Amino acid sequence: MQIDQHTPNTDTPTTWPRRSVLKAGAIVVGAGLLGRFAEARAAGVSATDYQGLDAWAMAEAVRAGSLSGEDLLAAALARCAAVNPQVKAVNMLHEEYARTLLAQRRSAGHGAQGALAGVPILLKDLNTYLQGTPTSNGSRLFRDAPPAPRTSTLIARYEQAGAVPFGKTTCPEFGLTTTTESLLWGQTRNPWNLAMSAGGSSGGAAAAVAAGIVPVAHATDGGGSIRIPASYCGLVGLKPSRYRTPSGPGHFEGWFGASVGNVVSRSVRDTALFLDAGQGHEAGSAYWSAPLARAYVEELRRDPGSLRVAVVRQSLTGAPLDAAVAATLEQTIKQLTGLGHEVEELKLGVDPRELFGAHGTVIGTALSNLVHEREQAMGRAANAQDLEQITQVVLERAKATTGEGLYRARQSFERIGAAMEQPFERFDVILSPVTANLTPELGQLSLDQPWDSYAQRAMGSAGFTVLANVSGQPAISLPLGQSDNGLPVGMLFTARLGGEDVLLRLASQLEQDRPWAARRAML
């Protein structure tokens, strides 16, 4: 079966048969407290109960025997069928893969084991692979690509911990923009307001979680692609430290380490749970992040203490803050001081031209290489029917990049990374908005438009987020505010390299102080 070029005009995701099965392992991790919804019925889970469960509660219910992985998968598929025609977040279903995986575990006696036991998840359809299934990268150029011969290491780790992948989520072509719209799959809509963007490039992942299809979805972040859609969709979105999570097999870093994988979720504890399952050095890789002092889920129980918080108000693109974003920033500062943290203003010593120039050089070169590899596989050159307008411009500009230019970009990454560690000699975390603007209307940031209009509109979207990708530092978006018309507003916290523990302790404290679980998109 092949991807139909006209699939965006349909109401259901493409269903792909599973061609082979990766043998799943199982690890038993200590249980914790049952979530408040863990009394779900043994006969299954209602739609209401399913949407009230986070991944932590689901896994505990499966381990306790009150739910099964089959129950949760059925509920996830039912919710997908009910809301995906509206949000268009899921573009492929791999139901056979999931059912085969569950049957294999049950026959091996591992059906209720693992920190993520039975939790249904979705994969971002970008440079991430599930054995026997295709990956489109959001591009018509890859619509006939062969199925993956093996599963990405990060996804295999989720499976080994008990998670159940059953489909893929939409992304823009090659993840190049901060909305999720493509000529291949159409427009992914924000569950909070269907006229608005869900963000990008992990907008399909964020829309699927915000719409209640899954409690957690895999996502990647090379310039803000976890944090921006998390902010726009009212979710938790952590970009880990460079090399905290694996990028292989086959290659061990994306965009010189700027792009990393993790998840978007509704709760801080789910983010910690999946980071524990996914993190760690990958065999064969020359890169790794600092080892953990303790499991991340244990950090949630630890008091963050009185932190020194630096506030950055100005976007590196110079875009002014929307009134709701500025108000949420002030509200967050008040919340932090009320919790005993010290807050001080900070102006970053980073040259925006060097930052965005180096980041753009690396992205353009990586894209050029990917397209050339695909052209060789197809035996023909890509054309205007394969690629969107902005993608073509990026590729054309990449032709001017020399080996020396790429080397200088790598040096800029290192220089900016060193410079961004300096503020952490005085501060524990840096607070800023995630984006300068609220969620944009669909169409404003699509890749199918002239470069000049796109560049002007994009100024407010990634001016705060790209820095942590280039510096390699961990950064988390938390759903701490809303606009007058009900759109979510996220705030961004950044820590020193390897400082996910500090971010998670603070995030847990903020979540407990002003819970956001009751704020849900009404679909």
SS (H, E, C) 19-88: CCCCCCCCCCCCCCCCCCCCCCCCCCCCHHHHHHCCHHHHHHHHHHCCCCHHHHHHHHHHHHHHHHHHHC
**Known catalytic residue: 201?**
yes
pLDDT at 68 over 60: yes
DSSP 425: G
CA 223 to CA 151: how far, in whole Å?
24
Percent above pLDDT 90 for the chain: 88
25 has a pLDDT exceeding 70? no
Mean pLDDT of 188-200: 98
**Spatial CB neighbours of 434, under 8 Å, sequence gap ≥ 6:** 224, 227, 228, 230, 231, 464, 465, 477, 490, 491, 492
> What does the pLDDT look like over 220-277, one tens digit per residue?
999 999 999 999 999 999 999 999 999 999 899 999 999 999 999 999 999 999 999 9
Q: What is the mean pLDDT of residues 143-169?
A: 97
* pLDDT over 60 (residue 215): yes
Q: What is the phi/psi pair of residue 144, to 5°?
A: -110, 20
pLDDT, mean of residues 385-393: 98
CA distance 511 to 98: 32
* Sole residue written with tokens 């996914």: 278
The catalytic position among 88, 124, 168, 239 is: 124
- What's the rounded mean pLDDT across residues 40-45? 55
Closest CA relative to residue 25, chosen from 161, 163, 164: 161
Q: Quick one: how far is CA 72 from the chain centroid?
A: 22
Q: Is 225 marked active-site? A: yes
* 389 burial type by CB count under 10 A (0-12 exposed, 13-18 middle, 19+ buried): middle
What is the arithmetic mean of pLDDT over 87-95?
A: 98
Domain membership of residue 518 (yes or no) is no
Which is nearest to 279 in space by CA: 244, 239, 237, 242?
244
φ, ψ (nearest 5 deg) of residue 480: -100, 0
pLDDT average, residue stretch 102-108: 97
Q: Domain of 480?
A: 7-26+44-513
What the block records as the tokens of 296 is 């991340």
Q: Which residue out of 68, 201, 241, 477 is catalytically annotated?
A: 201
**213 pLDDT more than 60:** yes
Q: How many CA atoms lie within 13 A of 379 on its CB side?
A: 0
CA angle 198, 439, 459 (to 5 degrees): 110
Domain membership of residue 146 (yes or no) is: yes
pLDDT of residue 44: 74
- Joined tokens for residue 159: 């499976």
Inform me whether the pLDDT recorded for 28 exceeds 60.
no
Active site residue 68: no
Could you report the per-residue pLDDT of 279-338, keeping only the tens digit for each? 999 999 999 898 899 999 999 999 999 999 999 999 999 999 999 999 999 999 999 999
The Cα–Cα gap between 456 and 91 comes to: 29
pLDDT of residue 475: 99
* Model pLDDT, residue 335: 98
Question: Would you say the C-alpha torsion 213, 219, 225, 231 has a positive or negative sign?
Answer: positive
3-state helix, strand, coil in the chain (%, to 5): 40, 15, 45
Structure confidence at residue 31 (pLDDT) = 31
In a domain, 519, yes or no: no
Tokens of 150: 């093996």
pLDDT for position 12:
62
Q: State residue 14's pLDDT score.
A: 67
Q: Are 502 and 307 in contact (CB under 8 A)?
A: yes
The CA-atom distances, in angstroms, between 465 and each of 14, 178, 239, 455, 494 are: 32, 11, 10, 16, 10
Residue-level pLDDT at 290 = 85
Helix 55-64 and helix 69-87, axial crossing angle in degrees, nearest 10: 150
Number of residues written out for the chain: 523
pLDDT digits 0-9 by tens, 446-459: 999 999 999 989 98
Q: Is 522 inside a domain boundary?
A: no
In the chain, the amino acid numbered 363 is I
CB 151 within 8 A of CB 243: no
How far apart (Å, rounded) are the C-alpha atoms in residues 225 and 243? 16
Residue 520 resides in a domain: no
Q: What is the pLDDT of residue 291?
A: 86
Q: List the beta strands (DSSP E) in 382-457.
A: 429-433
Q: Tell me, yes or no, whether 32 lies in a domain.
A: no
Does residue 36 surpass a pLDDT of 70?
no
- In which band, very low, low, confident or very high, does the pLDDT at 15 lie, cut at 50, 70 and 90? low
432 assigned to some structural domain: yes
Q: Which helix (H) or strand (E) holds 419?
A: helix 403-421
Q: What is the pLDDT of residue 41?
A: 41
**In this predicted model, which residue has the larger pLDDT, 7 or 234?**
234
Place of tokens 């709701």: 324
Q: φ, ψ for residue 101 (rounded to 5)?
A: -60, -45
Q: What's the number of domains the chain is made of?
A: 1
Helix (H, G, I), strand (E, B) or coil at 141: helix
Does the residue 31 lie in any domain?
A: no
Residue 186 has pLDDT above 80, yes or no: yes
Return mean pLDDT, the chain.
Answer: 92
> What was the pLDDT predicted at 111?
87
Looking at the chain, the whole-number percentage of residues with pLDDT higher than 70 is 92
CATH number of the domain that 61 lies in? 3.90.1300.10
Q: Which helix (H) or strand (E) holds 374?
A: helix 352-378
In whole angstroms, give the CA distance from residue 379 to residue 384.
Answer: 16
| The one catalytic residue among 225, 265, 412, 461 | 225
Instruction: Over range 415-436, report the average pLDDT.
Output: 98
